[in-house]
Structure 1
Amino acid sequence: MVGPGDGETIVLGTTRLRVLEDGSNTGHRLGIAESVLAPHTPGPPQHRHAQHDEGFYIISGAVRFTVGDKDYDATAGTLVMVPRR
């Protein structure tokens, strides 16, 4: 169990990341982090992960995802899954 004030917090520019599960309790099958982005925060460049899928659930606001040359705006309530490779 990870409480509201628990977990490791990492600040990367205007993004605050709180690690809720780093994989050490799940045999590295699942990791979970909470990310809070300031408005107009650019995300990382397009990339992929070889060993794991990545999922994003948008709680509030909107986040833009780019796949190839197409942009997708994910609003609150949207789940975005990015398969490995």
Structure 2
Amino acid sequence: MSIIYVLIPIAIIIVAVAIVIFFWAVKSNQFEDLDRQGYSILFDDDLPPEEKKLAEQRKKLQESQHSPSPVASRSTDKGDNGGH
């Protein structure tokens, strides 16, 4: 029962620290622009033209390397027998 006298002050200190961190984040504008980082991965506008060309070339190269071959397109199943 005496452990409660230790746990309650520790819990109060942890909650106080969490509140201070939250108000610091609000004060330093951490929550102002939540969408920008999510949209930044969708658009390549920040790349210079040379990098855009290289990215397109890499994409075409990857697509040509990963084209399905006749052997890879065959199924490895012995038929659809419902797991029997």
TM-score tier by shorter-chain length is: under 0.3
Give the TM-score normalised by structure 2: 0.19
Give the structure with the higher percent strand. 1
**Higher CA-based Rg:** 2
Give the structure with the higher percent helix. 2
Give the TM-score normalised by structure 1: 0.19
Structure with greater contact order relative to length (CA < 8 Å, sep ≥ 6): 1
